[in-house]
């Protein structure tokens, strides 16, 4: 680690405003809170980091290519692999039927008879579903042979959208089910009927949140080997967790979870949720390895990724919001229908429930009715995608608030102000059970208006409108939950069914930390980062706790379920790093510090509580003159434990500790604190719409976050900007479009359009730090934020610009143009 | 086909199947894993390398097409002593990379443009970057890093 | 996503190249490869033989005369973009080239390649049609000059014979009194256009005495909008011109751009390109 890693980053003056690095408040400068550059950068900048396609843990692995269905729904009459087998260099071809014979259906939280396997064997239910796997000496040959596998399909009627799939008369995807609607739950909190009855205004609208995907630039990759003698599997994949899925994969393989060794390479090329679903291919390649008796490796190509990896759910929402004469939101009714694709792939239907506790968003309303339905369609299975449930919620909710403001004759900002949860209500129990731990939403919102120069925006808009131009302002406020409560998914089951099962409240992370004989510290945990700088922040936390320098701390984050500490909730999702993983790191480092203090007390002749660790030394606070180097303490503990007291309870200098934020299970009334902590974001945007071409230009975007204490402002700013780019893409460009036959129309990067540098607007950004009382460092998650808020904010801005309420996202030029022609969708 | 070409100053002679992509040869035959493959249809830009000094998508070149060429990949951007180029350092300083998967291609494109002196404004930088996808950063840190390496002064936000 | 097996050939003369093309079978010429190689990687094109023109002498270079900018087929789009003399002689190229893909694709993408590829949504074919340019084509029977109107046949299909190779592209220099406009609408900067308009008007004494308008991405090839040209010369007001231009095309639907939208875009782009030219 070079000198540069310790430098504070200069503030930038260009299009975005970085948050100020936090001042160290203690007398000794703290690493935590400083925007130091990352330890991750150097090998990445040199091209020396190891990604999944770079590693070769099992030499002589065969290279797989997957034969995929061109039909969204068809019976498989027969598969002829003879021509493929005849290709020089082909090792074997394994069909879905062979795989089905040695696997079990993937388990699901929903108790419905759906036989989901890693490859189809009698019936294909989405275009791109695997039907066979060719393994050859290299990928080129494997693709040659895959093109020669002849599959005789009998095409079946297709249900390619959630509304028609949910019709009682729709063709059923799974014969053993009674309906494509495979889960249907209703929830009622407070007295929504009474509240709606007294409301002076009820706004009712329908919204559609499309399928979209974060499309990481690195695709999926798997290396797997079936170990016949052990009856187990060794696998490497760019998996991101949640490690609940490890158990799902083991169950599908029919092996005890302890026999599935799942590892990740040191680096992963982005995920944003999407790579959680690589576990399906871990099972597929492990099964193929079992049949062929050799290790198998597979790197997904971009076509496969877009066609069949994963995406956000499409959600149809019917919302009703009731207001009293003062503009107070008194009741909310949400009817949610999530299209999860052809199978309910774990962790779905989690998109429906991740936000359940905070379905009322940032607003103080205790009367809530919810219907949550899951429907299967002939489309690729869905799953985690940045924001996970947040964009699906806030686009309808925030649009509805803006529409209500118009109908109430109130300024949108004023309506928001009247309804925000107040700081004096914190901790605030939301209607469906979330406990908002801290925050001053009103101040944050007002700061956003100030940061955006709201008055200037209003004047600009009005001046342009006077010239006939289409300029609009959008606002959005969102509560950003982080650290999922594993119990939330059990809301998919009624309370009486839940009561029969194991209660779930998990969110823990485990950390191993060890100090070597020369004082160097190694740290390991299972947060499976994909670019979020976990190693840097962990080093900051550990260096602070132990009083050592950053260079003395070496952090490893590659997962290995046979070696790492991990829990069922490990992984990189629900923005859990800065709230719970950082807490676990802090906890483990503090325990190690306590041991060092005990050893130092023995040497310094003072009580352990009087020992201070800093600058590589242990000092007595009673007598600052006396000190001993931490390196010497470590040497003593390793070489002379009996003589230095490093025995018994003090033990050595290696330990593993697990940290858990105490959370309740869902209660009998279906109230659930679905996440551990809750941040807040307020966004303001101004756009101009080209009336002739429908093109939307974002002229300014301002966002204010309160994610508690910021551990590294440089990294935090990067997360926020990245989240905003995803939100902008979702608002204006990105959608997995299917035709009525279930064919994906956006199956290459020529048609699926993430934003590039030229599409990003000027951004003003500010962070407010209200420390969380829940976490020891005061931090909350922040990685998803603007992905949740930006689609709502920009949809509001476009609606304001064009004077039309029903604005479907993404707001592509053709769509906006059609709206301007009076064509409603 | 037998071909000879140089990568990062080292000459390679190889018998390469005609259809094999340069990106695969760099990564899997020569072990230069820093060149990343993100789409294999010339859109994402992650595989961009310099071919005779010209930023080129290595997924859109057969390796046999670069016979006689000098290739520079991300592994060759630091000086021989291992010191990172000012552009590489600026990427770290300005947090211009997160997962780092798209970074090698962007470094290649920016390296050529810097050498040609074409980056005289941030608008030129964003235009240059439009041929690269980054899903982590929102491009802000990348633009600032390249602007820093190009010696551009801070720019005030454009008026509405 | 790897190319199917193929035989790679790199002839050093045009004659040798034409002979390779004439051998029969599925033979494709590769120039910069920025459009062809994705098709190979997707296996949407699976030629048996790929003929690379890289070593063929005389295919790179830009010649600017009073009457034409002649660009060797293997000249990269980037090289043309950097040739100030060519851009000043033919300002429409200056307006269009920044819309052609991205810097890194223009680095390798060639002028001849994009013309021979005959993509109706590409910019340079539209420019060539607008200017009434021509392609120089060499085959086993000799050299011929093919006008833009005759060159583009249909989607990704040109009128080149099986043994013919496009060796140069001539963009006419229209000279004094001509003014130009260019516009396109794409989803993102550098994407394939949903509609393109290239426009040239000859102004004398403040009057438009001749107009040339070409539209791209709205048909199976770039097309001239002759009724629009006449209307411009007749001084039809912008709103009528917009409607006329929109009615003069019948574009297909695409996932991102329905037909009606593209039609409307052509109307808008014609009006805007004309305003740009007259400014």
Query: Is residue C234 classed as helix, strand or coil in its secondary structure?
Result: coil
Contact B3, B67 (CB under 8 A): yes
Contact A198, A330 (CB under 8 A): yes
Neighbours, chain A (3 or more CB pairs < 8 A): B, C
Smallest Cα distance from B81 to chain C, Å:
29
pLDDT of A7 over the 60 cut: no
Mean pLDDT (chain A, rounded): 94
Six-digit token string for C115:
């013309």
pLDDT band at A18 (very low <50, low <70, confident <90, very high): very low
Q: Is B138 on the interface with A (CB under 8 A)?
A: yes
Q: How many CB atoms lie within 10 A of CB A407?
A: 12
Tokens 């002379």 belong to residue: A640
Contacts of A700 in chain B (CB under 8 A): 157, 160
CB contact under 8 A, B36 and A9: no
User: In the prediction, which pLDDT does A645 show?
Assistant: 80
Tokens 């229209």 belong to residue: C174
Q: Is C52 on the interface with A (CB under 8 A)?
A: no
If you measure CA to CA, which chain B residue comes closest to C37?
A: B60
Contacts of A192 by beta carbon, 8 Å cutoff, 6+ apart: A331, A332, A333, A367, A368, A369
| Mean pLDDT, range A229-240, rounded to an integer | 97
Instruction: Give backbone dihedrals phi and psi of A655, rounded to 5 degrees, phi first.
Output: -155, 160
Six-digit token string for C263:
């039609």
Q: Where are the alpha helices (DSSP H) in A185-299?
A: 192-198, 244-253, 279-292
Positive or negative, the CA dihedral A460, A461, A462, A464 is: positive
Contacts of A144 in chain C (CB under 8 A): 4-5
Q: pLDDT, tens digit, for every residue of A697-714?
A: 999 999 999 999 999 999
Q: Nearest CA to A765 among B154, B151, B125, B141?
A: B141
Smallest Cα distance from A210 to chain C, Å:
15
Strand-pair category, A260-263 with A232-237: parallel
C88 sits in which H/E element: helix C84-89
Instruction: Compare A9 and A105 and report the one with higher pLDDT.
Output: A105
CB contact under 8 A, C188 and A733: yes
With left for phi above 0 and alpha for psi between -120 and 50, is residue B52 left, alpha or beta? left
Smallest Cα distance from C146 to chain A, Å:
31
CB contact under 8 A, C189 and A755: no
CB contact under 8 A, C43 and A812: no
Smallest Cα distance from B4 to chain A, Å:
22
Contacts of C185 in chain A (CB under 8 A): 693, 695, 813
Six-digit token string for A413:
């900002």
User: In the prediction, which pLDDT does A105 show?
Assistant: 98
| Mean pLDDT, range A184-203, rounded to an integer | 98
Q: Which residues of chain C have pLDDT under 50?
A: none
Contacts of B78 in chain A (CB under 8 A): 46
Q: pLDDT, tens digit, for every residue of A32-77?
A: 999 999 999 999 999 999 999 999 999 999 999 999 999 999 999 9
- Diameter of chain C measured on Cα atoms: 61
CB contact under 8 A, B160 and A700: yes
Contact A376, A210 (CB under 8 A): no
Six-digit token string for A548:
């050592």
pLDDT of A1 over the 60 cut: no
Q: Which residues of chain B have pLDDT under 70?
A: none
Query: Is residue A256 classed as helix, strand or coil in its secondary structure?
Result: coil
Task: Give the N- to C-terminal CA distance of chain B in Å, as an integer.
Answer: 57
Q: How far is CA A538 from the centre of its chain?
A: 20
Is ipTM strictly over 0.95? Answer: yes
Contacts of B115 by beta carbon, 8 Å cutoff, 6+ apart: B53
Instruction: Compare C175 and A445 and report the one with higher pLDDT.
Output: A445
Contacts of A561 by beta carbon, 8 Å cutoff, 6+ apart: A243, A246, A260, A261, A262, A263
Burial environment of residue B115 by CB neighbours within 10 A (0 to 12, 13 to 18, 19 or more): exposed
User: In the prediction, which pLDDT does A16 show?
Assistant: 36
Contact C163, C140 (CB under 8 A): yes
Segment 181-220 of chain C within 8 Å of chain A by CB: 185, 187-192, 194
Contacts of A753 in chain C (CB under 8 A): 187-188, 191
Q: How far is CA A201 from the centre of its chain?
A: 36
Nearest to A756 among C189, C261, C265 (CB): C189
Whole-prediction pTM value? 0.96
Instruction: Give backbone dihedrals phi and psi of A512, rounded to 5 degrees, phi first.
Output: -105, 135
- What Cα–Cα distance (Å) separates residue A777 from each residue in A541, A584, A708? 9, 10, 9
Nearest to B19 among C4, C104, C108 (CB): C4
Q: Is B8 on the interface with A (CB under 8 A)?
A: no
Q: pLDDT, tens digit, for every residue of A478-493?
A: 999 999 999 999 999 9
Strand-pair category, A368-375 with A201-209: unpaired
Tokens 């002829």 belong to residue: A80
> To 5 degrees, how large is the angle CA C160–CA C165–CA C167?
120
Segment 93-152 of chain C within 8 Å of chain B by CB: 98, 101-105, 107-108
Six-digit token string for A416:
């928001």
Segment 455-484 of chain A within 8 Å of chain B by CB: 456-457, 460
Q: Where are the alpha helices (DSSP H) in A267-380?
A: 279-292, 302-308, 350-353
User: In the prediction, which pLDDT does A12 show?
Assistant: 32
Q: How far is CA A231 from the centre of its chain?
A: 33
Contacts of C58 by beta carbon, 8 Å cutoff, 6+ apart: C14, C72, C167
pLDDT band at A28 (very low <50, low <70, confident <90, very high): low
Smallest Cα distance from B131 to chain C, Å:
5
Half-sphere CA count of A54, side-chain side, radius 13 A: 22
Contact C231, C199 (CB under 8 A): no
Q: Nearest CA to A670 among A488, A441, A505?
A: A488
pLDDT band at A823 (very low <50, low <70, confident <90, very high): confident
CB contact under 8 A, C1 and B65: no
User: In the prediction, which pLDDT does A623 show?
Assistant: 76
Q: Is C34 on the interface with B (CB under 8 A)?
A: yes
If you measure CA to CA, which chain A residue comes closest to C184?
A: A693
Q: Is B55 on the interface with C (CB under 8 A)?
A: yes
Neighbours, chain B (3 or more CB pairs < 8 A): A, C
User: In the prediction, which pLDDT does A624 show?
Assistant: 73
Six-digit token string for A701:
């975007």
Smallest Cα distance from A567 to chain C, Å:
37
Q: Is B56 on the interface with A (CB under 8 A)?
A: no
User: In the prediction, which pLDDT does A616 show?
Assistant: 96
User: In the prediction, which pLDDT does C254 show?
Assistant: 85
Half-sphere CA count of A451, side-chain side, radius 13 A: 28
Nearest to A530 among B46, B99, B156 (CB): B99
Positive or negative, the CA dihedral B137, B138, B139, B144 is: negative
Q: pLDDT, tens digit, for every residue of A620-666?
A: 988 778 899 999 999 999 999 988 887 776 678 999 999 999 999 99
| Peptide bond just before A242 cis, omega within 30 deg | yes
Six-digit token string for A528:
């499976």
CB contact under 8 A, B57 and C189: no
A92 DSSP β-pair partners? A135
Smallest Cα distance from B76 to chain C, Å:
19
C216 DSSP β-pair partners? C196
CB contact under 8 A, B130 and C6: no
| Mean pLDDT, range A674-698, rounded to an integer | 98
pLDDT of A6 over the 50 cut: no
Q: Nearest CA to A353 among A190, A485, A163?
A: A485
Q: Nearest CA to A600 among A635, A639, A564?
A: A635
Q: How many CB atoms lie within 10 A of CB A309?
A: 24
Neighbours, chain C (3 or more CB pairs < 8 A): A, B
Contacts of C37 in chain B (CB under 8 A): 42, 59-61
User: In the prediction, which pLDDT does A518 show?
Assistant: 95
- What Cα–Cα distance (Å) separates residue C40 from each residue in A612, A737, C9? 65, 24, 16
A186 DSSP β-pair partners? A371
Q: Is B69 on the interface with C (CB under 8 A)?
A: no
Nearest to C5 among B19, B56, B127 (CB): B19
If you measure CA to CA, which chain A residue comes closest to C4?
A: A144
User: In the prediction, which pLDDT does A825 show?
Assistant: 66
User: In the prediction, which pLDDT does B93 show?
Assistant: 97
Nearest to A718 among B75, B137, B160 (CB): B137
pLDDT of A471 over the 50 cut: yes
3-state helix, strand, coil in chain C (%, to 5): 35, 30, 35
Q: Is C77 on the interface with B (CB under 8 A)?
A: no
Q: Is C2 on the interface with A (CB under 8 A)?
A: yes
CB contact under 8 A, C105 and B40: no
CA distance linking residue B19 with residue B25, whole number of Å: 11
Six-digit token string for A585:
């790191």
- What Cα–Cα distance (Å) separates residue A624 from each residue in A253, A508, A590, A610? 60, 38, 21, 10
Instruction: Give backbone dihedrals phi and psi of A613, rounded to 5 degrees, phi first.
Output: -105, 120
Tokens 């696998």 belong to residue: A235
pLDDT of A172 over the 50 cut: yes
- What Cα–Cα distance (Å) separates residue C261 from each residue in A202, A733, A818, B36? 36, 17, 8, 38
Nearest to C104 among B17, B18, B45 (CB): B45
If you measure CA to CA, which chain C residue comes closest to A736?
A: C255
> What does DSSP assign to residue A581?
I
Q: How many residues does chain B have?
A: 160
R_g of chain B computed on alpha carbons: 16
pLDDT band at A240 (very low <50, low <70, confident <90, very high): very high
CA distance linking residue A725 with residue C221, whole number of Å: 36
R_g of chain C computed on alpha carbons: 19
Query: Is residue C37 classed as helix, strand or coil in its secondary structure?
Result: helix
């Amino acid at each position: 680690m070079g000198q540069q890693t310790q430098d504070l980053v200069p503030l930038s003056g260009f299009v975005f405003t970085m948050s100020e690095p936090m001042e160290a408040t203690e007398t000794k400068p703290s690493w935590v809170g400083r925007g130091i550059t990352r330890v991750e950068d150097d090998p990445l900048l040199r091209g020396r980091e190891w990604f999944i396609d770079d590693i070769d843990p099992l030499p002589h692995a065969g290279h797989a290519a997957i034969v995929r269905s061109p039909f969204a729904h068809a019976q498989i009459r027969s598969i002829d692999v003879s021509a493929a087998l005849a290709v020089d260099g082909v090792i074997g071809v394994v069909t879905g039927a062979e795989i089905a014979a040695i696997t079990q259906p993937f388990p699901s939280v929903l108790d419905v008879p759906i036989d989901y396997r890693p490859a189809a064997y009698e019936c294909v239910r989405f275009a791109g579903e695997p039907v066979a796997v060719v393994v050859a000496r290299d990928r080129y040959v494997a693709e040659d042979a895959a093109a020669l596998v002849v599959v005789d399909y009998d095409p079946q009627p297709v249900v390619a959208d959630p509304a028609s799939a949910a019709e009682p008369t729709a063709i059923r995807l799974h014969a053993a089910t009674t309906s494509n609607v495979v889960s249907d739950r209703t929830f009622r909190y407070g007295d929504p009927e009474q509240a709606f009855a007294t409301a002076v205004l009820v706004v009712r609208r329908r919204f559609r949140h499309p399928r979209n995907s974060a499309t990481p630039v690195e695709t999926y990759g798997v290396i797997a080997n079936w170990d016949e003698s052990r009856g187990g599997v060794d696998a490497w994949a760019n998996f991101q967790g949640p490690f609940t899925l490890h158990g799902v994969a083991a169950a599908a393989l029919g092996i005890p979870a302890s026999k599935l060794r799942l590892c990740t390479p040191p680096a992963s090329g982005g995920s944003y949720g999407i790579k959680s679903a690589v576990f399906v291919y871990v099972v597929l390649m492990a099964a193929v390895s079992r049949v062929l008796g050799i290790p198998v490796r597979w790197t997904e190509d971009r076509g496969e990724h877009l066609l069949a990896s994963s995406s956000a759910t499409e959600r149809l929402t019917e919302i009703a919001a009731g207001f009293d004469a003062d503009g107070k939101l008194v009741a909310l009714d949400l009817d949610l229908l999530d299209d999860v694709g052809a199978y309910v792939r774990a962790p779905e239907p989690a998109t429906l429930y991740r936000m359940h506790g905070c379905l009322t968003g940032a607003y103080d309303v205790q009367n809530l009715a919810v219907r949550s339905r899951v429907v299967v369609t002939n489309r690729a299975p869905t799953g985690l995608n940045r924001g996970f449930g947040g964009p699906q919620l806030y686009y309808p909710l925030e649009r509805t608030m803006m529409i209500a403001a118009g109908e109430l004759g109130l300024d949108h900002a004023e309506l928001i102000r009247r309804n925000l949860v107040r700081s004096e209500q914190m901790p605030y129990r939301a209607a469906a059970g979330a406990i908002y731990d801290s925050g001053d939403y009103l101040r944050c919102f007002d700061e956003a208006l100030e940061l955006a120069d709201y008055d200037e925006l209003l004047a600009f808009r009005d001046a342009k409108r006077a010239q006939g131009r289409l300029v609009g302002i959008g606002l959005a406020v969102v509560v950003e939950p982080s650290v999922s409560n594993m119990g939330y998914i059990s809301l998919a089951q009624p309370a009486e069914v839940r009561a029969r099962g194991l209660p779930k409240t998990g969110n823990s992370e485990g950390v191993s930390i060890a100090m070597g004989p020369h004082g160097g510290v190694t740290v390991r945990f299972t947060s499976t980062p994909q670019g979020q700088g976990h190693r840097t922040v962990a080093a900051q936390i550990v260096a602070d706790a132990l009083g050592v320098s950053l260079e003395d701390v070496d952090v490893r984050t590659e997962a290995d379920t046979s070696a790492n500490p991990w829990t069922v909730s490990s992984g990189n999702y629900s923005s859990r790093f800065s709230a719970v993983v950082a807490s676990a790191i802090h906890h483990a480092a503090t325990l190690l510090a306590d041991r060092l203090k005990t050893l130092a007390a023995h040497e310094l002749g003072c009580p352990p509580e009087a020992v201070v660790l800093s600058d590589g030394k242990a000092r007595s606070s009673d007598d600052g003159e006396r000190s001993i180097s931490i390196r010497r303490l470590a040497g003593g503990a390793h070489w002379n434990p009996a003589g230095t007291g490093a025995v018994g309870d003090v033990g050595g200098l290696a330990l593993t500790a697990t940290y858990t934020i105490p959370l309740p299970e869902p209660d009998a009334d279906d109230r659930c604190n679905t996440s551990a902590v809750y941040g807040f974001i307020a966004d303001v945007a101004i756009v101009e719409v080209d009336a002739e071409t429908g093109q939307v230009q974002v002229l300014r975007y301002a966002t204010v976050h309160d994610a508690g204490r910021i551990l590294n402002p440089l990294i935090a700013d990067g997360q926020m900007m990245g989240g905003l780019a995803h939100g902008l893409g979702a608002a204006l460009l990105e959608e997995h479009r299917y035709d009525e036959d279930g064919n994906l129309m956006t199956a290459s990067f020529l048609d699926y359009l993430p934003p590039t540098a030229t599409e990003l607007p000027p951004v003003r950004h500010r962070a407010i730090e209200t420390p969380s009382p829940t976490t020891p460092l005061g931090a909350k998650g922040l990685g998803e934020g603007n992905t949740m808020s930006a689609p709502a904010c920009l949809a509001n801005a476009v609606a304001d610009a064009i004077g039309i309420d029903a604005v479907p996202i993404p707001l592509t030029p053709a769509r906006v143009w059609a709206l301007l022609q009076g064509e409603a969708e | 086909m037998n071909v000879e070409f140089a990568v990062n100053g080292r000459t390679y002679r190889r018998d390469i199947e005609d259809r094999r992509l340069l990106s695969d040869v760099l990564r899997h035959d020569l072990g230069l894993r820093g060149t990343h493959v993100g789409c294999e249809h010339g859109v994402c830009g992650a595989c961009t390398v310099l071919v005779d000094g010209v930023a080129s998508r290595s997924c859109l070149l057969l390796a046999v097409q670069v016979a006689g060429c000098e290739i520079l990949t991300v592994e060759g951007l630091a000086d021989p002593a291992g010191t990172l180029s000012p552009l590489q350092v600026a990427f770290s300083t300005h947090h211009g990379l997160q997962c780092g998967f798209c970074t090698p291609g962007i470094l290649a494109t920016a390296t050529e443009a810097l050498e040609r002196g074409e980056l005289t404004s941030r608008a030129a930088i964003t235009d240059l970057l439009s041929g690269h996808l980054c899903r982590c950063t929102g491009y802000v840190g990348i633009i600032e890093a390249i602007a820093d390496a190009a010696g551009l002064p801070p720019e005030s936000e454009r008026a509405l | 996503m790897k190319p199917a097996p193929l035989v790679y050939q790199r002839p050093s003369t045009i004659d040798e190249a034409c002979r390779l093309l004439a051998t029969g079978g599925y033979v494709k010429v590769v120039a910069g490869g920025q459009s062809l190689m994705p098709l190979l990687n997707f296996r949407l094109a699976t030629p048996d033989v790929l003929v690379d023109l890289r070593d063929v002498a005389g295919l790179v270079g830009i010649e600017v005369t009073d009457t034409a900018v002649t660009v060797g087929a293997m000249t990269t789009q980037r090289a043309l973009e950097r040739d100030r003399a060519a851009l000043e002689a033919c300002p429409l190229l200056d307006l269009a080239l920044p819309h052609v893909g991205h810097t890194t694709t223009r680095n390798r993408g060639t002028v001849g390649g994009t013309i021979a590829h005959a993509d109706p949504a590409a910019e340079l074919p539209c420019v060539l049609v607008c200017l009434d340019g021509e392609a120089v084509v060499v085959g086993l029977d000799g050299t011929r000059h093919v006008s833009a109107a005759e060159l583009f046949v249909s989607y990704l299909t040109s009128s080149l014979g099986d043994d013919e190779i496009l060796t140069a592209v001539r963009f006419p220099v229209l000279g004094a009194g001509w003014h130009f406009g260019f516009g396109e609408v794409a989803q993102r900067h550098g994407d394939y256009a949903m509609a393109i308009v290239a426009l040239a008007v000859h102004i004398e004494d403040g009057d438009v005495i001749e107009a040339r308008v070409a539209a791209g991405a709205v048909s199976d090839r770039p097309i001239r909008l002759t009724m629009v040209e006449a209307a411009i010369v007749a001084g039809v007001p912008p709103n009528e011109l917009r409607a006329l231009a929109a009615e003069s095309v019948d574009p297909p639907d695409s996932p991102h751009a329905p037909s009606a939208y593209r039609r409307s875009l052509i109307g808008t782009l014609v009006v805007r390109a004309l305003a740009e030219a007259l400014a």
